[in-house]
Amino acid sequence: MPRAGLDAAAVTEAGAALADEIGFAQLSMSLVAERLGVRTPSLYKHVEGLADLTRRICILTVTELGEAVRDATQGRARRDALEGAARALRGYVKQHPGRYATTVGVRPTGPDDPLAAALERALTPLSAVLLGYRLDPAEETHAVRMLRSMLHGFATLEISDGFQMSTSVNTSFTWMIDFIDQGLKAAAEDAAVGREVLPQSPQL
C-alpha cells in the first residue's frame, strides 16, 4: 500500500533536499527512498527513474531561483536591481548547491516541456533588471547572457572553493557588480547617442 501523502512533488522535494546535503553526484533512488521511509520500487509509482527525478528537481530549482530573483528586484532599478538579483542568485546557489547542479546542461525538449516555461519565468526578472538601463534592443539578449554567465560563474566557483587567493570574496563580488553596472551604463549611453543621431524625418 503506497505511503499516504507520497506523490511526485514529495519525491522531488526529498530528492532536492538530499542533493543539497550529499551532493547531486551522490544522489540515487535508493537514498531518496530511504529518506522517505519507503522501499525503492515505491518511488517508481511517482517518478520514472533518476533521470526523471533529476529533471523534476531542475524544474523546481529554476522555479525557486526565478522567484528569489523576482522578490529581490521588485521595486528596484538599475544598480539596486542588479545587486538584488546578483545577491539572490549567489545566496540561492550557496544554500542549495546540490539542486542547483541539476540545472547545468539541461535543456527543454520542446515548447511544451515544463522546463521551458520555468526557464522563461526565471529569465523574466533578469530581463526586467536590464530594462532600467535602456539598452539597444539588439543588445538585450547579449546582456542577459552576459549577466547569467557572470553570476553563474561566480556562484559555482565559490561553492567549489575555486577562489584561493586571500582577497575577500565578498569584495570581489561587489567589484563585479560595480563592473557590470558600469558596463551596462556605458552601453546605455552609446544606445542613447545612437538614438539621437538617427536622421529625422523631413517636416512636410
| Per-residue pLDDT reduced to its tens digit, 22-33 | 999 999 999 999
Residue 86 lies in a domain: yes
pLDDT of residue 74: 92
pLDDT of residue 204: 45
Residue 39 lies in a domain: no
**Structural domain count of the chain:** 1
Q: With both helix axes pointing from N to C terminus, report the angle between 78-95 and 50-73 in degrees, rounded to the nearest 10.
A: 150
For residues 104 and 118, give the distance between their C-alpha atoms in angstroms, rounded to a whole number.
14
Instruction: Kindly give the confidence (pLDDT) of every residue in the chain, 204 residues in length, as a single tens digit, with 9 standing for 90 and above.
Output: 446 579 999 999 999 999 999 999 999 999 999 999 999 999 999 999 999 999 999 999 999 999 999 999 999 999 999 999 999 999 999 999 999 999 988 888 888 889 899 988 888 999 999 988 888 888 889 999 999 999 999 999 999 999 989 999 999 999 999 999 999 999 888 777 655 555 555 554
Residue 121 lies in a domain: yes
pLDDT of residue 196: 58
Residue 111 lies in a domain: yes
Residue 48 lies in a domain: no
> Which is nearest to 126 in space by CA: 141, 108, 138, 115?
141
pLDDT of residue 88: 96
List the CATH number of the domain containing 91.
1.10.357.10
Q: How far is CA 25 from the centre of its chain?
A: 19
Residue 50 lies in a domain: no
pLDDT of residue 1: 42
Residue 130 lies in a domain: yes
* Cα dist from 187 to 13, 132, 145, 197, whole Å: 42, 12, 15, 16
Residue 122 belongs to domain spanning: 57-193
Q: With both helix axes pointing from N to C terminus, report the angle between 29-36 and 8-22 in degrees, rounded to the nearest 10.
A: 110
Residue 151 lies in a domain: yes
